[in-house]
Structure 1
Amino acid sequence: MEFAGIKAIVTGGASGIGAATAQLLQERGAEVAVLDLNPHQAPPGTKAIHCDVSDDATIRRAIEEAAELLGGIDVVVNNAGVGAQGTIEANDDDEWHRVFDINVLGMVRVSRAALPHLRRSSHAAIVNTCSIAATAGLPQRALYSATKGAVLSLTLAMAADHLHEGIRVNCVNPGTADTPWIGKLLSTATDPAAERAALVARQPHGRLVSAQEIAAAIAYLSSPISGSTTGVDLAVDGGTQALRLRTRRAGGPQSASTASRPAAGRPAN
């Protein structure tokens, strides 16, 4: 219960990674406010507040409402965001502006509005949901990758700016996660099963990342017991970014290290 007495806000906390994070922080003792376009879908027990991260006035009202309901703000989880597909040719200027406005400026607006409250906290932390798209070149993700690259750089700059105010700033870099957005992406594919198999194959541990695993990383980065962790981008991607494994041949011999344990995601016989 390391979050006992901690007041946290989670943007985009009504579904996917945000909902898993809000639930986990609450289970570990935090009081949580969910800021979302669909607050009625927020996890039970949280304070549900309508918020549009593309509108500064709405954000400022939501932050003040959250601070009043919770009795302060110690942790900000900047999770709200949208996806985008295609090469640089696939989206026009308006879409580039829209996605940057939500994925990058949304985090700026929320953090900016919350700073006065965080400065009064003895355990202040900001965690931004980034992506391995910020650190690895992924096909058909030009716009999305550009926004997440900006989030990574923003995280490091914020960590430097606010360290001496007692505010830690980190980000989590998920691999391909099993979330509603991925579900929508797969539903538009010509062959959803083949597309899912391709996404799974891209990750060395052989499956999609769960929202709960990403929530656990966010909880670590925002926890009061992680006071020496700041300016970190923590990958939760099954080894996609860091590992370069040999391709295993179908029916070929296993190494000693793999033969003695079940494949990832499968129970032992």
Structure 2
Amino acid sequence: MYFRSSVLKKKKSLLDGKVIVLSAAAQGIGRAAAIAFAREGAQVTATDINGEKLKELDGIPGIKTKVVDITNKDQVEALAQEFNHVDVIFNVAGFVHHGSILDCEEADWDFSMNVNVRSMYLMIKAFLPKMLACKSGSIINMSSVASSIKGVVNRCVYSTSKAAVIGLTKSVAADFLEQGIRCNCICPGTVDTPSLRGRIQARPDPEQAYKDFIARQKIGRMCTAEEVAHLCVYLASDESAYVTGAKYIIDGGWSL
């Protein structure tokens, strides 16, 4: 019997050497994605406005942290100037306003649109030229099932903003397809994150609010941030090289 004497090579990680920048990385989906990216060999720059929580990522191999307000044009452009090239940007930052259109004041509308949509505009506009110079890049945007996919009670401006994210994603994908740029968005249902827990505690009856969230989960539980992060890794990797302009629903069947 003949055996090859060469030692079997270690399997290459999905994101070896890829340079990734993401927002809202201090907790929730952003944190889970930053860790998942780094675990797969990426060089990750994790940003957030919450410097104290962001420090919890310090020391994880492959991750460096930076406090950035991604709604601030000057800060976003300064961040982009720190990179010669970027392979992936993941726009995670978002805000969930509770209420119908009658509960939404102009300030609420403007704030939600600024965080949920304008921040993505700023990030993409700042980093896209670097991707175009390399004729390669993957842009991942965080949308939601509460958008053009499904009408959800008391999510007026949030759903409107997340529908805009889907439109932005498809527009960027169409405009730069031939230049090697991919742009996709992720549309979760209810994800168990510190942000969600905070919103539940802010309700008049937190216990009932939690029961209401669980009751609408057809699969019987909420999604975890780590489950969303697995999808992020796929969209950041070359395994999704033929995927662009897509909206990926991860909601346990809520939108069915």
Taking structure 2 as the reference length, the TM-score comes to 0.90
How many percent of aligned residue pairs carry the same amino acid? 32
1:37, 1:52 within 8 Å by CA — same for their partners in 2? yes
- 1:225 maps to 239
Question: Matched residues in 2 for 1:23 and 1:122: separation?
Answer: 27
- The equivalent of 1:9 in structure 2 is 21
Whole-Å separation in 2 of the counterparts to 1:123 and 1:160: 15
Residue 212 of structure 1 aligns with which residue? 226
**1:63 equivalent in alignment to 2:80:** yes
TM-superposed CA distance for 1:95, in Å, is 1.5
Q: How far apart, in 2, do the equivalents of 1:173 and 1:211 lie?
A: 13
Mapped pair 1:86 → 2:86: no
CA distance in 2, matches of 1:235, 1:203: 14
Pick the aligned partner of 1:139 from 148, 153, 162: 153
Q: 1:191-247 deviations in whole A, cap 9, x for unaligned?
A: 2222111111112101111000111111111211210011110011001113xxxxx
Change in CA separation of 1:227 and 1:103 when aligned onto 2, cut-off 3 Å: same
Deviations 1:154-175 (CA, angstroms, capped at 9, x unpaired): 1111110111110100000010
Q: Are the equivalent residues in 2 in contact too, given 1:35–1:62 (CA < 8 A)?
A: no
Residue 116 (structure 2) pairs with residue 116 (structure 1): no
Q: Unaligned 5+ residue runs, structure 2?
A: 1-12
Write the letter of the residue equivalent to 1:64. Q
Deviations along 1:15-54, one digit per CA (max 9) or x if unpaired, are 1100000000000010000121124433233121121121
Q: Which residue of 2 aligns with 1:38?
A: 50
Would you say the 8 A contact 1:169–1:231 is kept in 2?
yes
Tell me how far apart the structure 1 counterparts of residues 29 and 236 of structure 2 sit (CA, whole Å).
15
> Does 2:174 align with 1:160?
yes
Check whether the contact 1:9–1:32 (CA below 8 A) recurs between aligned residues: yes
Which one of 71, 74, 85 corresponds to residue 72 of structure 1?
85
Q: Are 1:241 and 2:255 matched, yes or no?
A: yes
| Residue identity matched to 1:12 | A
Q: Where does residue 6 of structure 2 map in the other structure?
A: none
- Checking the alignment, whether the CA contact within 8 Å between 2:109 and 2:157 is kept in structure 1 is yes
2:66 counterpart of 1:49: yes
User: Structure 1-normalised TM-score?
Assistant: 0.85
The whole-number CA distance in structure 1 between the counterparts of 2:231 and 2:134 is 21
Task: Provide the secondary structure at the position in 2 that maps to 1:131.
Answer: coil
Q: Which amino acid aligns with 2:80?
A: I
**Runs of 4+ deviating beyond 3 Å:** 120-123
Contact 2:24 2:47 in 1 (8 A): yes
Aligned to 1:155, what secondary structure does the other structure show? helix
Q: Classify the secondary structure of the residue corresponding to 2:103.
A: coil
* 1:98-128 deviation digits (Å, cap 9, x = unpaired): 1101110100000100012212346410000
**Long gaps (5+) in structure 1:** 243-269
Aligned 8 A contact 1:123 1:224 in 2 = no
The 8 Å contact of residues 128 and 170 in structure 1, kept in 2 or not, is answered as yes
CA distance in 1, matches of 2:52, 2:195: 19
Q: Which residue number corresponds to residue 216 of structure 2?
A: 202
Give the Cα separation in 2 of the matches to 1:106 and 1:56: 8
What one-letter code is carried by the residue in structure 1 that aligns with 2:119? G
How many pairs align? 238
* Counterpart residue number, 1:184: 198
Deviations 1:63-99 (A, max 9, x none): 222x1xxx52100000011111100011211220111
For the aligned residue pairs, the C-alpha RMSD in angstroms reads: 1.3
Task: Answer whether contact 1:14 1:36 (CA < 8 A) is retained.
Answer: yes
